[in-house]
Amino acid sequence: MQHLTPKEAYDFLQANPEAVFVDVRSEMEYMFVGHPRGSIHIPWVDGPDWEIDPMFVAHVRKAASVNRPVVLICRSGRRSADAGLALEEAGIKDIYNVTHGFEGDLDETHHRNSHNGWRFDGLPWAQT
């Protein structure tokens, strides 16, 4: 798995339109916090049980079909890295993780969106 900053991921997606951009956050985060434009939603962990979706790999495999790069994003880059490892273990090879994720790392006052992340970098996003 390769790791890309949000700006690098955006550039990669622009240069590789066949890539599949997967937002692995929960449905609530995807809908209410917002999501990167062009991403599809396949949760890694979601309510009500907050357990790893046993069908996650199958859903990504279906979305990516054959030999398409998969770019993963979550809130901060941690869940997407775990999801990427699971995809690699399942034999999917062309995986990219967006470091700092959609909302970025926590700052000294425990808030996000203050110094890194997809939204902080001003990259295209939407709120459903």
Measured in degrees and rounded to the nearest 5, phi and psi for residue 73 equal -140, 145
- Here the CATH number for the domain that contains residue 117 is 3.40.250.10
What one-letter code names the amino acid at 11? D
Residue-by-residue DSSP string for 3-36:
EE-HHHHHHHHHH-TT-EEEE-S-HHIIIII-EE
For 122, the domain range is: 2-126
- Total domains in the chain come to 1
Per-residue pLDDT of the chain (128 residues; tens, 9 = 90+): 999 999 999 999 999 999 999 999 999 999 999 999 999 999 999 989 999 999 999 999 999 987 899 999 999 999 999 999 999 999 999 999 999 999 998 888 888 888 899 999 999 999 87
CA distance to 3, 25, 48, 56, 101, per residue, from 6 (Å): 10, 16, 29, 23, 7
Answer whether 73's CB lies under 8 Å from 124's CB. Answer: no
